[in-house]
């Protein structure tokens, strides 16, 4: 029987980590986990309850009441995030959540709460997880680590297209680019688990790569890592 491994995919906002992670997971029949969606779910819950990022007492109480799950229907490419049983996939992709999520993901009690769940999911192996600290903090022993990047303007255009496809028509390119640059800055400079390339991660810059080229490259790394495991 082939050995199952864990695959960590880290990198900047909107550089296609999730898309690539899903392709790899589908091809290997592994579980895909979008950890950004988990930070977004906590942010969404805080906005819903009106909890300020500085109110750690209320935040701690809130975390105890949160149950974040994913529902995956591979045939339709349906991959939705649920919070306490409610489908929040669209809510967590809106600008109010995007504008606050980097502030929320700086908070150590939020990171501890989510990292513990991520490590529990990974204990069984056969997981492709995308985020910012997967190769450095969540799975420092992952058998394959990929660090993805692309030019900010290219990422902003891709994100804008995605938002428009989902019906968010009143957003400008400049607004999306500004949000991306701000998130990149906060994610890379925060004290707790900043976005960092793990020393043993393979870098993929997909600014000039087609999706097919990128998938082929990443899958070849994955097959090699499984062989060597
Ligand atoms: O991948 P994304 O853009 O949906 O992530 C949303 C935010 O969550 C991002 O600004 C940084 C944060 N995040 C994090 O701090 N650690 C992770 N493992 C994943 C996301």
User: Exposed, middle or buried, 116 (CB in 10 Å: 0-12/13-18/19+)?
Assistant: exposed
Q: Which fold has domain 6-215?
A: Rossmann fold (3.40.50)
Q: How far is the CA of 143 from the centre of ligand 1 (A)?
A: 22
> Per-domain residue ranges for the chain?
6-215
Residue 188 CA to residue 194 CA, distance in Å, equals 5
Residue 134 CA to residue 139 CA, distance in Å, equals 6
Pocket test for ligand 1, best of 41, 132, 185 (most atoms within 8 A of CB): 132
Q: How far is the CA of 227 from the centre of ligand 1 (A)?
A: 30
pLDDT reported for residue 150: 94
pLDDT reported for residue 1: 66
The dihedrals phi and psi of 212, each to the nearest 5 degrees, come to -65, -45
Residue 135 CA to residue 55 CA, distance in Å, equals 30
Q: Taking the model in full, what pTM does it have?
A: 0.92
Pocket test for ligand 1, best of 20, 39, 68, 118 (most atoms within 8 A of CB): 39
Strand partners, 133: none
Q: How far is the CA of 101 from the centre of ligand 1 (A)?
A: 7
| Mean pLDDT per 10-residue interval, the chain, length 229 residues | 92 90 94 96 98 98 97 80 96 93 95 98 96 96 97 93 87 94 90 91 94 96 96
Residue 85 CA to residue 92 CA, distance in Å, equals 15
Q: How far is the CA of 201 from the centre of ligand 1 (A)?
A: 18
Could you tell me if 11 and 17 are in contact, meaning their C-beta atoms sit under 8 angstroms apart? yes
């Amino acid at each position: 029987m082939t050995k199952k491994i864990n695959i960590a995919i880290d990198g900047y906002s909107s550089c296609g980590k999730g898309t690539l992670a899903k392709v790899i997971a589908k091809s290997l029949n592994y579980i895909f986990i979008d950890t950004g969606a988990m930070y977004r779910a906590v942010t969404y819950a805080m906005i819903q309850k009106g909890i300020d990022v500085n109110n750690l007492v209320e935040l701690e109480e809130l975390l105890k009441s949160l149950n974040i799950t994913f529902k995956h229907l591979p045939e339709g490419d349906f991959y939705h995030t649920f919070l306490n049983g409610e489908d929040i996939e669209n809510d967590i992709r809106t600008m109010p959540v995007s504008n606050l999520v980097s502030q929320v993901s700086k908070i150590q009690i939020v990171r501890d709460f989510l990292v513990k769940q991520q490590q529990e999911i990974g204990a069984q192996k056969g997981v492709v997880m995308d985020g910012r600290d997967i190769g450095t903090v969540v799975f420092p022993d992952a058998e394959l680590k990929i660090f993805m990047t692309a030019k900010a303007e290219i990422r902003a255009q891709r994100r804008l297209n995605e938002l428009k496809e989902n019906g968010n028509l009143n957003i400008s390119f400049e607004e999306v680019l500004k949000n991306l640059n701000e998130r990149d800055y906060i994610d890379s400079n925060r004290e707790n688990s900043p976005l960092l390339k793990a020393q043993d991660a393979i870098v993929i810059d997909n600014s000039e790569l087609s999706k097919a080229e990128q998938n082929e490259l990443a899958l070849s790394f994955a097959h090699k890592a499984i062989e060597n495991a």
